[in-house]
Amino acid sequence: MKHLLILLITLTFAGNARAKEQDSKADSIKRLIATDLKSPKTTAKPNVDRLNELAEEYYESYPDSTFKYASMAMAFGSRSGYVKGVADGLNNVGMVNTFRGEYALSTRNFSRALQLHRSVGDRYGMSDDQIGLGRVQDFLGNYPKAIIYLDSALAIRKTLGNEADLADCYNYLGITYDNKGEFSKALDYYLKSLAIYLKHKNELATADSYCNIGIIMQHLELYPKALNYFNTALKIWLKYKDMQGISTIYLNNGEVYMAQRKFAEAFTSLNKASKIFHDMDDREGISLAYYDLGLCYHHTDRRDSALKYLNLSLATAAADKIPYNKTHAYLGLATVYNSTRDHTNALAYASLAKNTADGLGNADLRADAALQLSQALAASGKFEQAYREQRLYSTLQDSVNHTEILQRLAAYDLESAFAKDQLAYKRQNEAQIKAYQQAIRDQRNMIIFYAVVALLTAAIALVYYKGKRKQTLINRELTQKNTEIIAQKNSLDEHSHKLNDLNHLKDRLIAVLAHDLRAPLSTLRGLFGLMADQDLTPEEFAEMAPKVFSRLENTSDFLDTLLFWINSQVDGTNNVTSFSLYDMVENELSILEVQLQQKQLTVINTVGKDDYVIADPNSIRIVVHNFLTNAIKFSPVGGEVGISAYNGVDGKQIFKISDRGVGILPHQLSALFKSKVNSTPGTNNELGTGMGLLFCKDLIENSNGKIWAESEPGKGADLYFSLPVGDATSR
């Protein structure tokens, strides 16, 4: 028979995770560490923990992969000084070595892991290592020592407070007491572990417990019960495709069929188990399958096949140092040789069976060994020794039978108590389920009630919403009408202001035309009158002519500006194009060259040939001309006029004309582009109308531009305008 061992790992999920979930989790962990393994930071604590976690994930299906990842974790943990990571890796390696039958090596692994876990105060790790050591001693047949380790692990886990972890310890103690032949104690521990697994709905671990309880029933020759437990476990393992569990049930069912002398069923079941054990390289399982097949062949009178499989079982058990399996193999061989009257071989194997059984301390095995040895000795003529062995067999068998009866009674009591506990637990669950269902019904009724309330509320809200929406539409329409009325009022106000402004402008224009135009014409008429009357000498005429000419020139400039502005107001500025400021400035400078020379002014023109703007060139020419005449007018004799252009922060081209003349007073500067300014004489007593810049503002703004001035009295003035940037290609 074969127990299914719960994995010796630190995480409880390994006993109950589904196969697909395990594969998925392993893949996730691999992805997390794939990049880290190429990094110099791979020694970091999280990466070592991931490697150990991956090692644990693979133990059920690929022990070699467990060994690989655990070894990597140990190497990286040692490099970074991460003691717990090294200890966890040693524990994983110890599990694999135990699986391979390398018990001396696994003992060293677990012992060193225990030292390291103790040094860092990792109590759970310590309990894991003690379980590993206990399992090794169980395999070696040192049951008292195994129980000491397992009891110590159980004591630690009781202090940690995780009930699921206790179940593993109970299961391992049950296996050890089972191997020792103390079936009632084994059953007690199995039932404790089963109760916890059922409570936590841990299906795979529950299957382990069903299997192990079935083995107890098999020992006590309660074969129908044994098959019932085995097949309950098998259903779970088939569901999860757990090959270890499936192979174990096939082996144990085969033994029960053999005990019931159903040899055809036994052969079928045992051959299935043997195939899976070989596929998984499960050395203990292979040895037990060979032993059971050997006995089946013996019971069906096929001596050669029986000896073949029993010798294979012995060789495997000896190679893997499994004394329990070796004892069974010795007994099987002794049984076959006794039945075929090969007394020499029978005596040899019976003696070996007795020695190993005595070492294990298992009463069942000792009794079977004494019986085979007694038969071999009697057949060899050693009757006195045969008699002693026969008496020993009788004593042991009586003890076994007596113990078996007691244990069978204890098993019935334990099973009954467990059934009562499970029934009580089931009733408690049913009561909880009923309460839960009632709560669901109450909740459903409340949901219906609230749904009705919600529907009524929604209906009321819908009526309110429709009324509110209608009111909102009316209000919106009223607001729109009010907005239109206000817009119309604002438009009327704006037109009214414009009409007022135009009316004021008309008044100013009439005043200018009445005064500023009449004055130079009157002067000219008077001059010509004096000349006609010959009251002026040529010298006096030559002296007065430049002054009269200057006034006529100013008047002409003003008329040009005025007429162009009036034309722009009537026809608009449709001649918008891209043109060069440089060319325009140069043209205006040539026109004003005489005035510049009269005042000996120096012009510094830094306007670039690539400085283009988009506007009506005629409008901008008027503005540039006005800027220049203002600069000339207020610059001192021998002064300097600066002309420049550059790109502004708003992406427009800025034009600037600077003079270093008398400057503009603050109150005049603030009204410069808003109304008529009382013109002051220039540095050579040049006169003006005070309206030129007002027209310039209108012309610039009509060209989508902006005009402004900056000045500090006594230090000159800067006149600016900005226009959209143009280029030579769009002329």
pLDDT at 14 over 50: no
Work out the pLDDT band at 564, boundaries 50, 70, 90.
Answer: low
pLDDT at 178 over 70: yes
- Residue pLDDT, tens place only, 363-384: 777 888 888 888 888 888 888 8
Work out the pLDDT band at 294, boundaries 50, 70, 90.
Answer: very high
Can you list the alpha helix ranges (DSSP code H) found in 635-684? 666-670
Q: Is the pTM of this model over 0.75?
A: no
Is 74 a domain residue?
yes
Is 202 a domain residue?
no
- Residue pLDDT, tens place only, 335-367: 989 888 888 898 898 899 888 888 877 777 788
- Residue pLDDT, tens place only, 659-707: 988 888 888 887 777 755 456 665 655 655 556 787 788 888 888 899 9
Lowest mean pLDDT among 34-43, 267-276, 369-378, 603-612: 34-43
Dihedral angle of Cα 263, 268, 273, 279, to the nearest 10 degrees: 140
The helix/strand/coil state of 673 is coil
Is 266 a domain residue?
no
Residue type, 95: M
pLDDT at 393 over 70: yes
What pLDDT, on the 0 to 100 scale, is given for residue 105? Answer: 94
Question: CATH number of the domain that 62 lies in?
Answer: 1.25.40.10
Lowest mean pLDDT among 488-497, 601-610, 648-657: 488-497
Which residue has tokens 């540039």?
624
* d(C-alpha 51, C-alpha 26), whole Å: 10
Is 137 a domain residue?
yes
Work out the pLDDT band at 7, boundaries 50, 70, 90.
Answer: very low
Is 490 a domain residue?
no
Domain count, the chain: 2
Work out the pLDDT band at 45, boundaries 50, 70, 90.
Answer: confident
Q: How far is CA 699 from CA 158, 436, 552, in A?
A: 97, 87, 24
pLDDT at 501 over 70: no
Helices vs strands, H then E, count in the chain: 26, 7
Concatenating the DSSP letter of every residue in 115-140 gives HHHHHTT-HHHHHHHHHHHHHHHHHT
Domain range enclosing 115: 20-154
In sequence order, the β-bridge partners of residue 644 are: 656
Q: What letter would DSSP give residue 201?
A: T
Task: Decide if 109 contacts 87 (C-beta within 8 A).
Answer: no
User: Which of 122, 154, 186 corresponds to the end of one domain?
Assistant: 154
Q: What does the mean pLDDT of the chain come to?
A: 80
User: Which of 99, 121, 154 corresponds to the end of one domain?
Assistant: 154
Is 641 a domain residue?
yes
Is 527 a domain residue?
no
* d(C-alpha 99, C-alpha 18), whole Å: 22
Task: Decide if 241 contacts 19 (C-beta within 8 A).
Answer: yes
pLDDT at 271 over 90: yes
Task: Decide if 350 contacts 372 (C-beta within 8 A).
Answer: yes
- Residue pLDDT, tens place only, 416-429: 555 555 556 566 66
Query: Inter-axis angle of helices 283-299 and 303-319, to 10 degrees?
Result: 160
User: Which of 125, 154, 183 corresponds to the end of one domain?
Assistant: 154
pLDDT at 560 over 70: no
What pLDDT, on the 0 to 100 scale, is given for residue 19? Answer: 42
Give the pLDDT mean for 85-96: 94
What pLDDT, on the 0 to 100 scale, is given for residue 263? Answer: 93
